[in-house]
Every structure is written in C-alpha cells, then in structure tokens.
Amino acid sequence: MERVVYGNTGLEVSRLCIGCGHFTRTYPNLEDAAGFLLKVWEKGVNFWDTAEMYGTHPHIGAALKRIQRNEVVIQTKLGHKDYDTTKERLDKALKELNTDYVDVLLLHGVNSPGDLERREGALKAMLEAKAAGKVRHVGCSTHVYTGPVMDAVTARDEIEVILSTLNKTGRMLEGSVINDNTREPPSPLLEAHIAQIKRAYEAGKGISIMKIIAGGQVPENEREDYITWAFEFSYAHAVNLGMNTDSELQLNCDIESAVRAKRLQQAA
C-alpha cells in the first residue's frame, strides 16, 4: 500500500483511507469492529476517517487499544458551529477514541462561504485545541457541495485539509447553499469541481475524496471502474472508501495496487 504526504501537514497517509461511517450497523460489537480495523491496518491502510455523527468513535477506540497510536492517522469531524460545544465535543471524542489527540479534525459538511463564517467559533476552538496538542491539523469537509465553498475553504490558511466528494461522473455534487434555498452553481460541472480540487491540492492542502461510488448508487458492475478512476485521479492524496467486509477491503487494496503498478510501468 502506497503512502504519501498529506499536503503540507507532513502526515504520511495510505492512498486508501477507510471510511467508518457504517460501523454502527455492520459492527455493533466494538471488538468485532476492532478486529476488522486491525485487518485493515495489516493491509497497510493507516488512514482511518470517522465523525462524531457516525457514532463510531468507540469502534476506533477499541482498535487503538490493540496497536500503537502512532501507527494510524485518525481523521474525524465535528458539525457544531459554536466554540463551547465544539470544545466540549472534542474532549468527548478523544475519550471515546481512546487517544490524547486526533491527527486531523474537520469542520463537518461546510456548505457555503456563509456557513464557514458562521462556524468561526468552532474553528477557533479547533485551533486552540491544535495549540494545546489535542489536534495536529485542522480542516473541513465540503461534503457534496462545490462552487463558492471550495474557493472559500481553499483561501483560508488555517484550513490544512479538505475532504470533498468526487467520482467519475460527478454524481451527488451540489452547488454551495446560497440564501438557504438556491444553489450556486445550480448544476455543478464535474470539470469545474476538478479544477477547484486541483487548485486546493496545488495550494498545499491535504486532499481526500469520498462518495467514490456515490453512496452505493453506482451499479455493482461499474464500481471497479469508478474506484480505479479515483485512484488514478492526480490531485487527491487519499481515496476514502467505506469498507465493512474482507472482500471489500481486498478489492480496494487490489485496485490501488494495480493502479500503482501501472503508473510505475508508465514512468519506467
């Protein structure tokens, strides 16, 4: 499994990132979740993504009892806007994760420049936590939103990491939420979104992409093509895929390996 430096953060992350969003359903037993995460780690996948709203912090915490903390990069997200709640929930998250720090903490689902402004209190709490050593790097997820929000978060020096939706056909993309009712742009173009991700990547942001198979909307017989496309995409450090079974893990590792081998062959 290839590892790369996550933008300007200095963190070394695996090209394949496991998204743990469904663990509360697939692994209600924490020890079963821990066992699967250890298999993930043994495959070389050291980048684990989660969020408070997923309810999976305890699942990762169970796994962290079995390996050295510095063996994995933990990225989580908080969706609150105000300072006090964000500070409180971060402390709760650290306890559930069984760790003194998270490697990356993201503002969850920023949907517009206005939404980013309304989260200044949350961002302040995150930056204070970074200064205190509870967080190593700060960023945001733009979820399915593109357009003005991508430019807004790229322009902020404090935001070191961006997690964005991206897939082969641009499924699920929505424009920034403007005035609560409209979207800008109303019908986002994949090419324009890719250009924004490229600008963020070239600005030194750590970039990971998600919704690779559009939340399961992509037909089963097309999924390998979509996942291959994601690993071939040049402007993302990591590909975030929800994995819940041994077969999914093996398939994603095999695709990453094949894409890397092809790239090395072409460079030779």
Report pLDDT for 35.
Answer: 97
**pLDDT of amino acid 133:** 98
CATH code assigned to 3-267: 3.20.20.100
* CA angle (179 as vertex; 176, 184 as ends), nearest 5: 30
Laid out side by side, the sheet with 182-184 consists of 145-146, 174-178, 182-184
Give the pLDDT band of residue 184 (cuts 50, 70, 90): very high
Give me the amino acid identity at 76.
T
- List, for residues 71-118, the tens digit of each pLDDT value: 999 999 999 999 999 999 999 999 999 999 999 999 999 999 999 999
- Which single residue is written with the structure tokens 């997200």? 77
Round to whole Å and give the CA distance between 153 and 140: 8
**What 3-state class would DSSP assign to 62?**
helix
| Predicted confidence (pLDDT) per residue in 10-51, tens digit | 999 999 999 999 999 999 999 999 999 999 999 999 999 999
Contact 7, 208 (CB under 8 A): no
